[in-house]
Amino acid sequence: MTSQRTIATEEDRQYYDTTERVRLKPGWMQGEGQPMPTIEPFLWRWQEVEPLVLKSGELVTPDRDVERRTLRLATPGLDRGTTHTITAALQLLLPGECAPAHRHTPTAIRWVLKGEGAYTTVEGDKCWMEPGDLILTPSWTWHDHNNEGSEPMIWLDGLDVPLVRYLRANFYEPYPEDQQPIVGVAESEKRFASGALRPAWEDHEAPYSPLWHYKWAKTEEALHSLAEIDASPFDDVAMEFSDPATGGPVLRTMTCWAQLIRPGVATRAHRQTSCAVYHVYRGQGYSVIDGQKFEWNEGDFFVVPPWVWHEHANPTGQESILFSIQDIPVLKDMALYREEPYVENAGHQPVTGLFRG
Ligand code: GTQ
Ligand code: FE2
């Protein structure tokens, strides 16, 4: 059998020389190309990240050259992105600054971490940012960020850039002015934030949520309401931010979750073909990812790679809240989503190591 796959005779050699010359690759010869880089689980500590984010304010200023003052969560082994599909970055905007208006085909989300007095304008709609708010800037929507307050504003950006680049569909356009004209304030919220009710005469054809701003107060209330009655064995009180027009994920390429891990809860492990970038919005706890224990504190970030066992726990007496960006919609739409529960040991992985960073 193997003799069929080796170059034994002059005739073979000629054959393989010819296939190479005409750009044909025999599939029965050795595997093709470089192996895909594996994505390692990783954790960034807020204690280390925050001073570097604040210091970046002394190094650069967002303008037409710099565009955005961001620090990417750079997972080891990847030279772009935070996972193979998602880029996550911390962005800083100082009082009086404007991150100029532009649009691009990659979609972005903002998860607000710190500060007040800044807003993002999305397609003319002014969205004031407060910690715990989720703001969407879907594909090809104009957006600029402005800080009119007196404090540094810090948020987490999540973008589908690695996926869009892979698909060769990355386009970008600057707006002629730094700021786009403001048409209204919190308009998407006034139309759609009630969730269960929406304007009766409007059709929704956009391939993303018409609601761009999910306020923290509503998210927190939703988590607490669900916690009274139900929870997932794998993710505890996990809620997906949803498109009020479809009930589905807010975007085609990324979904966002807010997850309450109640005091004393240790979820069961499972694995999925999707991946996630997590932020610890509140509290303390740990996740076991691929047998490694990742202890997290408020403000930390961590990555759950695809098809890796993971479980979350909150051994403290206070609630923990996790925010995450996940690529589930891509896998599901392509019929590639798989999920598997960890069945041994009552659903808990043996812990083989402690992540130290
Ligand atoms: O705020 O518009 O992290 O365009 C990367 C690209 C943020 C933004 C990023 C962007 C933005
Ligand atoms: Fe942008």
Answer yes or no: is pLDDT of 1 > 80: no
245 against 339, higher pLDDT: 339
How far is the centre of ligand 2, averaged over its atoms, from the C-alpha of 22 (Å)? 43
List all residues 6 or more positions away from 7 whose beta carbon is below 8 Å from its beta carbon.
Answer: 13, 16
| pLDDT mean over 130-137 | 98
Can you give the pLDDT at residue 4? 60
pLDDT category at 2 given cuts 50, 70, 90 is very low
How far is the centre of ligand 2, averaged over its atoms, from the C-alpha of 102 (Å)? 6
Domains of the chain: 42-354 (2.60.120.10)
Can you give the pLDDT at residue 31? 67
Regarding the beta carbon of 290 and ligand 1, being less than 6 Å apart is answered no
Pocket test for ligand 1, best of 69, 70, 109 (most atoms within 8 A of CB): 70
Regarding the beta carbon of 91 and ligand 1, being less than 6 Å apart is answered yes
Can you give the pLDDT at residue 339? 98
The predicted-structure confidence for 337-355, as pLDDT tens digits, reads as follows 999 999 999 999 999 999 9
The predicted-structure confidence for 194-234, as pLDDT tens digits, reads as follows 878 889 998 878 899 999 999 999 999 999 999 999 999 99
| pLDDT mean over 240-255 | 95
**30 vs 28: CA distance, rounded Å:** 7
Can you give the pLDDT at residue 71? 98
Residue nearest atom 4 of ligand 1, based on CA coordinates: 68
Can you give the pLDDT at residue 126? 98
Q: Which ligand 1 atom is nearest residue 72's CA?
A: 3
Regarding the beta carbon of 69 and ligand 1, being less than 6 Å apart is answered no
Q: Which two tokens stand for residue 228?
A: 């009274």
Regarding the beta carbon of 89 and ligand 1, being less than 6 Å apart is answered yes
Can you give the pLDDT at residue 3? 47
Residue nearest atom 11 of ligand 1, based on CA coordinates: 68
> Look-up: residue for tokens 């997972």?
75
Can you give the pLDDT at residue 7? 83
How far is the centre of ligand 2, averaged over its atoms, from the C-alpha of 254 (Å)? 16
Regarding the beta carbon of 122 and ligand 1, being less than 6 Å apart is answered no
Q: Which two tokens stand for residue 126?
A: 């002014």
* Angle at CA of residue 276, ends 272 and 278, nearest 5°: 135
Residue nearest atom 6 of ligand 1, based on CA coordinates: 68
Regarding the beta carbon of 110 and ligand 1, being less than 6 Å apart is answered no
Pocket test for ligand 1, best of 56, 69, 71, 91 (most atoms within 8 A of CB): 91
Regarding the beta carbon of 75 and ligand 1, being less than 6 Å apart is answered no
| pLDDT mean over 66-86 | 96
Percent of the chain with pLDDT over 70: 98
Answer yes or no: is pLDDT of 144 > 70: yes
Residue nearest atom 8 of ligand 1, based on CA coordinates: 68
Q: Which ligand 1 atom is nearest residue 104's CA?
A: 4
CB-based contact 121:51 (threshold 8 Å): no
How far is the centre of ligand 2, averaged over its atoms, from the C-alpha of 85 (Å)? 17
Answer yes or no: is pLDDT of 173 > 60: yes
Regarding the beta carbon of 103 and ligand 1, being less than 6 Å apart is answered no
Q: Is the pTM of this model over 0.85?
A: yes
Answer yes or no: is pLDDT of 125 > 70: yes
Q: Which ligand 1 atom is nearest residue 70's CA?
A: 3
Can you give the pLDDT at residue 250? 97
Would you say the C-alpha torsion 68, 72, 78, 81 has a positive or negative sign?
A: negative
For residue 69, give the ligand nearest its CA.
1
Percent of the chain with pLDDT over 90: 89
Q: Which ligand 1 atom is nearest residue 157's CA?
A: 3
Q: What is the mean pLDDT of the chain?
A: 95
How far is the centre of ligand 2, averaged over its atoms, from the C-alpha of 297 (Å)? 29
Regarding the beta carbon of 143 and ligand 1, being less than 6 Å apart is answered yes
Nearest to 266 by CA among 339, 343, 348: 348
| pLDDT mean over 180-188 | 97
Residue nearest atom 9 of ligand 1, based on CA coordinates: 157
